[in-house]
């Protein structure tokens, strides 16, 4: 408990403001203490110990998943509401030279072991197994649920050698994903026999009471995701994404394995700390009026915002696709969809409370989505809000907590405007038509005080106004 509290305080100090000095300090600490040391011989010794204990060991692929590229190429039909500013690693299959998230099944006494190093300094990273698809009686095909099965192993709670020193970055780590306590104990014993410290071993519990384990049509399929977002050093993260240095072991057993001892469903971390953003209602309304006054020569359409993606257990009960959600954020979106012309005189102003600056999130973001594909095309993270905010935020003590950003498909010569377009390497993206309906989604990740996403009831929702030059 003491080490976690220490790291939370360090995290708030360094990442709470995302200053250049804060980034420099955490990079310095990582260079001093981040020293991933896992060798191939140690992994071989681990595999040998697992084999001696009765496991059959198979290596699986693990790599970067470029969601937009897969959708643009037709390899995926949907972006699953990806964060346009996020990065993803996963257990994958390689299809036509590209990493595509793998869909697999597990017996009650199977396990997956992730061995490697954590990312370099980022605002957020996490690991989690997901319930991907389920076959329901009377239905011809399985339904996609993409539900997270509980809390994440994120950068505020994960165990590494550096956690006690307040640095979980670029550290050796092992994640054991299993439904069985006995299997978890045996895997941990094999890891320690191979020389791994117990301080780096984490369990990603698959709650057997929630899922249908087994192999076959009536059993669930699973996926495994690793999110990582907002780096201190872009090139360092790019290098890591291209070579994360991760080994994945799939462990199976014969039918004569020891009796099952399934994990119960772990308790969830509690969202919220009772501190709200309610005192910002008057300055937020003043900002709204300033935006409308500034663009009084345009036709304005104001969109309301609602809670968008619900949590895993809700999705499972309602048989609803919850789009690879995580409890480490909230999900908001514009209630209505809209069209946006490729015209400098038609644009959005996205505005609201910078939840990171106010202390309710480690970072927040918005993404513009193409509705048909649920694909995040372009977004912005809160560390960059100030740089792009238009200069009409009313002055006062709450001004540092507000943002207002212009977004358009054609920004013309406006350097602050965020242009909705795919990166050059994805153009043309023939599978995604930006002349179709769009919407805006919002996230607020990881409240430092709780190590989980904030309670949406404590936040003021981000807002969107569409402006269009009236016909003369």
Q: What is the structure's pLDDT at 162?
A: 85
Domains (ranges, CATH) in the chain? Answer: 2-252 (no CATH), 278-468 (2.60.120)
Alpha-carbon distance of 468 to 340, in angstroms, equals 9
Structure confidence by residue, pLDDT tens digits, 71-104? 999 999 999 999 998 999 999 999 888 999 999 9
Query: What is the share, in percent, of the chain residues with pLDDT greater than 70?
Result: 92
Cα–Cα distance measured from residue 308 to residue 315, given in angstroms and rounded to the nearest whole number: 12
Asked if pLDDT for residue 11 goes beyond 50, the answer is no
If we measure between CA atoms, which residue out of 111, 108, 91 comes closest to residue 100?
91
Name 263's Cβ contacts closer than 8 Å, sequence gap at least 6: 178, 179, 180, 181, 184, 205, 206, 207, 208
Q: What does R_g of the chain's alpha carbons equal in angstroms?
A: 23
Tell me the pLDDT tens digit for each residue of 257-294: 789 999 999 999 999 999 999 999 999 999 999 999 99
Write the pLDDT tens digit of every residue in 196-248.
999 999 999 999 999 999 999 999 999 999 999 999 999 999 999 999 999 99
Q: Which two tokens stand for residue 279?
A: 């005192």
10 pLDDT exceeds 50?
A: no
- Closest to 328 (Cα-Cα) out of 228, 452, 443: 452
Tokens 């996490």 correspond to 126
**What are the tokens at 98?**
């590209």
**Closest alpha carbon to 206 in 261, 104, 130, 269:** 130
Smallest Cα–Cα separation from 303: which of 348, 266, 243? 348
Each residue's pLDDT tens digit, 355-375: 999 999 999 999 999 999 999
Paired residues of 60 in beta bridges: 248
* Residue 142 to residue 133: CA distance in whole angstroms: 6
Q: Which residues contact 253 (CB under 8 A, 6 or more apart)?
A: 54, 55, 56, 107, 109, 110
33: how many CB neighbours lie within 10 A of its CB?
16
Q: Are 265 and 207 in contact (CB under 8 A)?
A: yes
pLDDT at 13: 42
d(CA 109, CA 255): 9
DSSP state of 155: T
Strands 305-307 and 329-334: antiparallel
Angle CA 333–308–125, to nearest 5: 90
Asked if residues 154 and 125 have their Cβ atoms less than 8 Å apart, the reply is: yes
Q: 403: how many CB neighbours lie within 10 A of its CB? A: 24
* The predicted structure's pLDDT at residue 28: 54
CA pair distance 393, 85, nearest whole angstrom: 24
- What is the predicted pLDDT for the residue at 29? 53
Range list of β-strands (E), 360-401:
363-370, 375-381
What pLDDT band is residue 2 in, cutting at 50, 70 and 90?
very low
Copy the structure tokens of residue 143.
């339904």
Whether 101 contacts 92, CB under 8 Å: yes
**CA atoms in the 13 A half-sphere facing the CB of 115:** 26
For residue 136, how many other CB atoms are within 10 A of its CB?
Answer: 11
In the prediction, which pLDDT does 263 show? 97
Q: Which two tokens stand for residue 19?
A: 């200053």
What is the pTM (predicted TM-score) of this model?
0.92
Please state whether beta strands 346-353 and 463-468 pair in parallel, antiparallel, or not at all (unpaired).
antiparallel
Contact 117, 245 (CB under 8 A): yes
Contact 92, 61 (CB under 8 A): yes
25-43 confidence digits (pLDDT tens): 555 555 554 455 899 999 9
Distance CA 94, CA 99 (A): 5
> Which residues have CB under 8 Å from 327's CB, separation 6+?
148, 150, 151, 152, 268, 269, 271, 311, 312, 452, 453
Phi first, then psi: give them for residue 159, nearest 5 degrees.
-95, 125
How far CA 57 is from CA of 44, 198, 224, 248, in Å, comes to 11, 21, 18, 10
Spatial neighbors of 414 by CB under 8 A, at least 6 apart, are 344, 406, 408
pLDDT tens for 377-390 read 999 999 999 999 99
The CA distance from 219 to 228, in Å, is: 30
């Amino acid at each position: 408990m003491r080490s976690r509290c220490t790291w939370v305080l360090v995290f708030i100090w360094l990442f709470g403001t995302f200053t250049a000095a804060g980034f420099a300090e955490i990079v310095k600490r990582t260079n001093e203490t981040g020293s991933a040391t896992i060798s191939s011989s140690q992994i071989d010794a681990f595999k040998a110990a697992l084999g001696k204990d009765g496991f059959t060991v198979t290596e699986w692929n693990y790599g970067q998943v470029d969601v937009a590229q897969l959708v643009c190429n037709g390899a995926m039909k949907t972006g699953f509401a990806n964060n346009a500013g996020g990065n993803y690693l996963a257990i994958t299959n390689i299809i036509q030279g590209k990493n595509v998230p793998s869909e697999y099944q597990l017996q009650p006494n199977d396990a997956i072991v992730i061995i490697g190093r954590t990312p370099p300094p980022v605002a957020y990273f996490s690991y989690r197994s997901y319930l991907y698809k389920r076959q329901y009686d009377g239905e011809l095909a399985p339904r996609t649920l993409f539900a997270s099965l509980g809390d994440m192993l994120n950068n505020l709670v994960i165990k590494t050698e550096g956690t006690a020193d307040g640095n979980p970055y670029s550290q050796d780590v092992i994640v054991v994903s299993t439904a069985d306590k006995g299997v978890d104990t045996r895997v941990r014993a094999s890891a320690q026999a191979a020389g791994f410290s117990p301080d780096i071993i984490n369990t990603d519990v698959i709650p057997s009471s929630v899922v249908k384990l087994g192999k076959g049509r009536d059993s669930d399929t699973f996926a495994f995701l690793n999110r990582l977002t907002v780096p201190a050093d872009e090139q360092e993260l790019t290098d890591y994404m291209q070579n994360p240095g991760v080994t994945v072991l799939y462990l199976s057993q014969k039918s004569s394995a020891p009796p099952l001892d399934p994990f119960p469903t772990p308790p969830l971390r509690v969202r919220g700390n009772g501190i709200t953003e309610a005192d910002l209602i008057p300055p937020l309304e003043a900002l709204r009026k300033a935006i409308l006054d500034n663009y009084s020569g345009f036709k304005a359409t104001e969109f309301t915002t609602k809670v968008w993606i619900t949590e895993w257990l809700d999705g499972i009960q309602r048989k609803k696709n919850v789009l690879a959600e995580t409890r480490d954020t909230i999900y908001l979106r514009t209630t209505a969809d809209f069209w946006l012309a490729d015209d400098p005189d038609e644009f959005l102003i996205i505005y609201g409370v910078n939840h990171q600056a106010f202390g309710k999130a480690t970072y927040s973001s918005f993404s513009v989505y193409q509705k048909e594909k649920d694909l995040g095309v372009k977004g912005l993270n809160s560390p960059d809000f100030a740089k792009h905010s238009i200069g009409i935020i009313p002055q006062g003590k709450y001004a540092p907590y507000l943002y207002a950003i212009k977004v358009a498909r054609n920004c013309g010569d406006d350097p602050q405007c965020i242009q909705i377009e795919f990166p050059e390497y994805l153009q043309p993206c023939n599978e995604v038509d930006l002349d179709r309906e769009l919407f805006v989604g919002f996230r607020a990740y990881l409240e430092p005080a709780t190590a989980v996403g904030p309670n949406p009831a404590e936040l003021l929702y981000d807002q969107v106004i569409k402006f269009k030059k009236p016909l003369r």
